[in-house]
């Protein structure tokens, strides 16, 4: 074992033995080289006032060398905020401002120790860091059966973890905390589990209410008390898009300090909430552990970043930072929120109008980009294909009954036409089935 990795492991074992138990083999072995090129270069940046000949960039007249064809288009920005490598943990000012934003939007974090957010190449990368540091072959990843399909690749295919699913909703159409508890307690023999909580949920657009939130936290606490070491990741990709009376905070806050055998990790970012999907700016934040453990986890995270992408893109960090500091930011975000909320309301109004008969019901939704229909009479895949072929409409079929509709990318005046077309496609598929059955 590298001595630096050993030092980090010793710190975590001393300060938080339960968290040491959660690390994967890779998580134990990884470290960030203290005396490597990046740290020597950082030192030189501070002290080498005459010539800094440390790092693999090129300079000219004291600025990063660059091509005018690029700079002309990005002239609002200083070359030093575009072309140089960003630090592996991300731009310090962006990390600080994101932390302030997180604390403001999630008052339940107050009073708990959390790390400074570390910049990731958006949320997928944050999730894959969690998988690298904490998932070994055979470890259980506990999540609702309606989930973002990429978890399977990130945790399952790449790291060999096993997906353990429970039904998302209970009989009342509320979050099934009892299912979560049961799935977690079933991991008692393994002594470890990774829980993924994603609200607003992809694909259903569901966020639990306050009472359901408490039940989720209680289920996790019960499992921790039963001896299970639990890494809980809140995937807050669609954070802030809460249209109704659900929780308006991440459960990360309530999970901090819950139990020594619970490690909360918040994965979030600008991707969806700030409408910058291609920028690839996300964050990973650790909570509810002593400062020395948080610092050691940060070092291990930097080790994974250095080993995989080395550092995130600098221009998009600059763009996001600039936006977050702008006095126009809040107002413009509120305007977009109003558009999204209004679309969600319109979808509900259409679905509740009775005009679509008894062909489907819809899963409860109150947030995010999506909603899901549950088709009662025909296969979702057949409807998806019919929609494409006859109606020029793209949707996502999930399993045999569910059709995911991203109202986030349909203008409000077109929503009725969209659902009319879906309804027609369902009737077409049903009629074709009846003809076949009659043959």
Ligand X SMILES: Cc1ncc(COP(=O)(O)O)c(C=O)c1O
| β-bridge mates for residue 141, sequence order | 163, 194
Query: To the nearest whole angstrom, how small is the minimum distance from the Cβ of residue 282 to ligand X?
Result: 5
Residues near ligand X (CB under 6 A) are 122-124, 148, 198, 202, 235, 237, 269, 271, 277, 282
CB nearer ligand X, residue 179 or residue 205: 205
CB nearer ligand X, residue 275 or residue 277: 277
- 85 close to 75: Cβ distance less than 8 angstroms: no
Pick from 141, 153, 94, 154: which is nearest to 120 by CA? 94
Query: To the nearest whole angstrom, how small is the minimum distance from the Cβ of residue 369 to ligand X?
Result: 8
- Pairing mode of beta strands 192-197, 140-144: parallel
Query: To the nearest whole angstrom, how small is the minimum distance from the Cβ of residue 90 to ligand X?
Result: 14
**Closest residue to bound ligand X by CB:** 122
List, in order, residues 6 or more apart from 351 with CB less than 8 Å away.
362, 419
CB nearer ligand X, residue 12 or residue 403: 403
- 282 close to 130: Cβ distance less than 8 angstroms: no
Output the six-digit token pair for 222.
């019960």
CB nearer ligand X, residue 204 or residue 299: 204
CB nearer ligand X, residue 31 or residue 175: 175
Query: To the nearest whole angstrom, how small is the minimum distance from the Cβ of residue 237 to ligand X?
Result: 4
Query: To the nearest whole angstrom, how small is the minimum distance from the Cβ of residue 53 to ligand X?
Result: 36
Torsion from C-alpha of 161, 166, 169, 172, nearest 10 degrees: -160
CA atoms of 117 and 298, how far apart (whole Å): 9
Output the six-digit token pair for 10.
């010793």
CB nearer ligand X, residue 236 or residue 428: 236
CB nearer ligand X, residue 6 or residue 275: 275
DSSP string, 176-236: -HHHHHHHHHTTTTTTEEEEEE-SSPTTT-----HHHHHHHHHHHHHHHHTT-EEEEEEE-
CB nearer ligand X, residue 81 or residue 235: 235
Query: To the nearest whole angstrom, how small is the minimum distance from the Cβ of residue 203 to ligand X?
Result: 8
Pick from 285, 269, 284, 299: which is nearest to 38 by CA? 299
CB nearer ligand X, residue 8 or residue 143: 143
CA atoms of 297 and 300, how far apart (whole Å): 5
Give yes or no for a cis peptide into 49 (omega within 30° of 0): no
DSSP string, 337-376: HHHHHHHHHHHHHHHHTSTTTTSEEE----BSSEEEEEES
Output the six-digit token pair for 304.
């994974």
């Amino acid at each position: 074992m590298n001595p630096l990795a050993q030092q980090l492991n010793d710190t975590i074992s001393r300060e938080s033995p339960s968290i040491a138990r959660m690390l994967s083999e890779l998580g134990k072995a990884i470290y960030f080289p203290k005396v490597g090129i990046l740290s020597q270069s950082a030192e030189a940046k501070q002290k080498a006032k005459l010539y800094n000949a440390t790092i693999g960039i090129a300079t000219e007249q004291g600025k990063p060398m660059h091509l005018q064809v690029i700079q002309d288009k990005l002239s609002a920005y200083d070359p030093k905020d575009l072309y140089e490598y960003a630090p592996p943990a991300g731009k310090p000012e962006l990390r600080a401002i994101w932390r302030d934003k997180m604390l403001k939007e999630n008052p339940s974090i107050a009073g708990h120790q959390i790390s400074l957010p570390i910049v990731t190449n958006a949320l997928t990368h944050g999730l894959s860091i969690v998988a690298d540091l904490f998932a070994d072959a055979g470890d259980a990843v506990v999540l609702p059966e309606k989930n973002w399909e990429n978890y399977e690749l990130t945790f399952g295919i790449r790291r060999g973890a096993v997906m353990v699913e429970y039904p998302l909703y209970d009989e009342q159409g509320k979050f099934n905390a009892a299912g979560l508890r049961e799935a977690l307690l079933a991991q008692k023999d393994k002594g470890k589990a990774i829980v993924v909580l994603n609200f607003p949920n992809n694909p259903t657009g569901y966020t639990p209410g306050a009472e359901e939130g408490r039940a989720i936290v209680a289920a996790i606490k019960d499992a921790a008390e039963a001896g299970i070491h639990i890494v809980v990741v809140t995937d807050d990709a669609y954070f802030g898009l809460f249209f109704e009376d659900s929780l308006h905070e991440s459960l990360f806050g309530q999970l901090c300090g819950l139990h020594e055998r619970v490690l909360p990790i918040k994965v979030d970012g600008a991707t969806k909430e700030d409408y910058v999907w291609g920028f690839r700016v996300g964050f990973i934040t650790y909570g509810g552990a002593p400062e020395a453990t948080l610092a050691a986890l940060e070092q291990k995270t930097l080790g994974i970043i250095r080993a995989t992408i080395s550092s995130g893109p600098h221009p998009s960090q600059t763009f996001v930072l600039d936006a977050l500091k702008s006095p126009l930011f809040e107002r413009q975000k509120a305007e977009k929120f109003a558009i999204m909320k209004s679309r969600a309301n319109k979808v509900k109004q259409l679905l509740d109008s009775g005009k679509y008969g008894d062909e489907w019901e819809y899963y409860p939704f109150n947030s995010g980009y999506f909603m899901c229909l549950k088709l009662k009479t025909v296969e979702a895949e057949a409807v998806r294909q019919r929609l494409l072929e006859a109606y020029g409409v793209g949707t996502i079929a999930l399993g045999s009954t569910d059709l995911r509709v991203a109202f986030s990318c349909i203008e409000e005046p077109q929503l009725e036409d969209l659902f009319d077309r879906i309804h027609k496609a369902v009737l077409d598929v049903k009629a074709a089935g009846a003809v076949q059955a009659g043959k």
